[in-house]
Structure 1
Amino acid sequence: MGKYVIQSHHRLHEWVAEEHGYFTAEGLDYEFQGESLAGNAKTTAPVQSADSVPAEVRSGAFEDMSAGRACDVSSACHWAVNGVTAAGAGKMWGHAYSVTPSGIFVAPDSGYHRPEDLADVPVSVGYHSGSHYAAIQALEPFLDRAQVKLTFSGLPNDRVRLLVRGEVPVANLFGAQYYIAEQLGFRKIVDSTFMVGFLVAEGADPEETKRYFRALQSAQRDIDLQPERYKKYWLREMPEDLADLVDVRRFGPGERMVFEPYTKEMYDSTQQWMDAHNLLDLEDKTSKYQEVVLT
């Protein structure tokens, strides 16, 4: 049996588990996608070019997962994981999820001050990704559905670069990019915090998957107890041009893992929400929860 391959999600947990040897203590023979992290301070995250940001990208987490990820476990917003598992690309882990701080930001001198001001204003998001779905969910209490306008601007680092350069008026940001905008004085118009789910590959060993999550649960306790100690790991998830703009010691802890079930009710209501917003084509309305969620 080969090593258990993990794709990180731009959070602190995997690095904390690595530091304290929690994966090894659980008996997990593992590596991170692309390279082993043992004793290596190099980031495994793809680094986008600081000078080349696509104007419109119609591909995101849903498409990436649908094509198949070369790992045993990975993460994305729960909407995308929910939808892609329903389509048959892997299984959703039903024993945990996480919650990531997210917000819709504008420049400090922007004329937009309230969510209502964003009627028909394009909000920069990632296509079929958490920022896409979360922007809709956050703005609908304030705007008619037809007034919510989105522009698809690539990956999270792309969006924060565009916002900082003044090339987009509004962007939905989460994780490290949320803290970058906050620290640089960008104004949060509305909170868009959302849930993250876990995608487990069809061939992943169930016992090794359990070991992975037990290690992350130990890491979450460490982060809760002493977050300041681990904020240095934000630098492992940021390209240099963005890291140079901020002091990560001022960041928050980011994504928080919740070791509670992702229930059938949660699964079905999420499917219905996506279907109602034309984000998931549900020809068969029968719940696939028992088939695609590992419980």
Structure 2
Amino acid sequence: MSLSDTLRVFHLPFSFMLPQRVAARRGYFADQGLDVELIERDRRRVDWKYVPGDETLTGDADVDLYPVCKWESLKRTWSLDDGRIVAHGAFADLPYALYVRPETSIEEPSDLANVPVAVNRRTGQEYTAIRALEEHLDPGEIELVHQGMPTDRLRALRGGTVDAATLLDPHSALADHLGFRRILEFENHVGVVGTEDLDDDALAAFMRAYGRAVEEINENPSAFRAQYLEMLEADLEVAPDLFDDVDLAAIRESVTVPRYEVPELADPDDLAAHLEWMKDRDLIDERAEIGAIVAPH
């Protein structure tokens, strides 16, 4: 595809993707000569995970570009042949947090041996959780269970279905106000995947527009608080019960807009190390090759 074509971009309604929303709303993509269409799903209809695990985005959904966890980008591109990784990065100074209920005897990550930890499987967050927990537990002691979207994980934690759950801001802010305790924080890394025929000029234009949004947010984060809080407001419709016993105004006040980063073009050498880590833990086909996963530049 070229600059003259419509670029269909999958949008994740999560905190680390705010620059993409800003670039679309403020016309930064259009200023770069791009006609960008953000593809979104109705969260009220998502009962498993926002990124479909058994369907391709570049094929079944006709998407040209999509963000997903760095390790899941390795998995999807190889296992589903769902595009090639074109960029990756931390995206934001925004860690995942692992929470437990206040009455539990769990005080630190080493207490999580053989304790089910709620994650959203096949979104990539399970891999980041494994990497973080490996610093405190033997691999055989790590137990992850699928509990779905952030609001579902909060409900599972509140209801006692699980004793621990991973969350990302602004859901972590809600967890704080619900009285849960955070005992571990770890980085969130994202990969950007494009179709086989994604034009280098189109990708460069997309990154320039994205970078412009990052620069503006970082220069004046308070100007973007309302947009950032939209993710929290959306959960009032999805899971109103989670807000029954909290001061919503206090939650809004406690949330701060993080500092964002621009994704870097995919580095095969860097991603090869992550691929080997996945192979060592039987998280991906041992035949997976980085050359078939990362797009050439």
Which residue is 2:147 aligned to? 153
Moved more, 90-99 or 262-271: 90-99
The answer to whether the 8 A contact 2:97-2:184 is kept is: yes
SS at match of 1:24: helix
| Equivalent runs, 1:185-204 vs 2, <5 Å | 185-204=179-198
TM-superposed CA distance for 1:272, in Å, is: 0.5
Moved more, 247-256 or 78-87: 247-256
Deviations 1:199-250 (A, max 9, x none): 1123444433322221111111122122222122234433324578343342
Which residue is 2:236 aligned to? 240
TM-superposed CA distance for 1:195, in Å, is: 0.6
How many Å separate the matches in 1 of 2:123 and 2:187?
13
Deviations 1:55-93 (A, max 9, x none): xx6996654447744321111100011222234320111
SS at match of 1:109: coil
Deviations 1:92-138 (A, max 9, x none): 11375525420111123332110011111000011122221111111
2:91 matches 1:85? no
TM-superposed CA distance for 1:140, in Å, is: 0.8
2:66 matches 1:74? yes
The alignment's TM-score, normalised by the length of structure 2, stands at 0.81
Q: 1:260 to 1:18 in 2, by over 3 A?
A: closer
Unaligned runs of 5+ in 2: none
The alignment's TM-score, normalised by the length of structure 1, stands at 0.82
Moved more, 77-86 or 116-125: 77-86
Unaligned runs of 5+ in 1: 35-43
| Equivalent runs, 1:105-120 vs 2, <5 Å | 105-120=99-114
Q: Give identity over the alignment, percent.
A: 25
2:208 matches 1:211? no
The answer to whether the 8 A contact 1:48-1:157 is kept is: no
The answer to whether the 8 A contact 1:103-1:174 is kept is: yes
The answer to whether the 8 A contact 2:19-2:214 is kept is: yes
How many Å separate the matches in 2 of 1:182 and 1:27?
43
Which residue is 1:283 aligned to? 287
Which residue is 1:8 aligned to? 11
Q: Which amino acid aligns with 1:278?
A: D
Q: Which amino acid aligns with 2:172?
A: Y
Q: 1:72 to 1:294 in 2, by over 3 A?
A: same
How many Å separate the matches in 2 of 1:265 and 1:141?
23
How many Å separate the matches in 2 of 1:60 and 1:215?
24
Aligned length: 278
SS at match of 2:261: strand
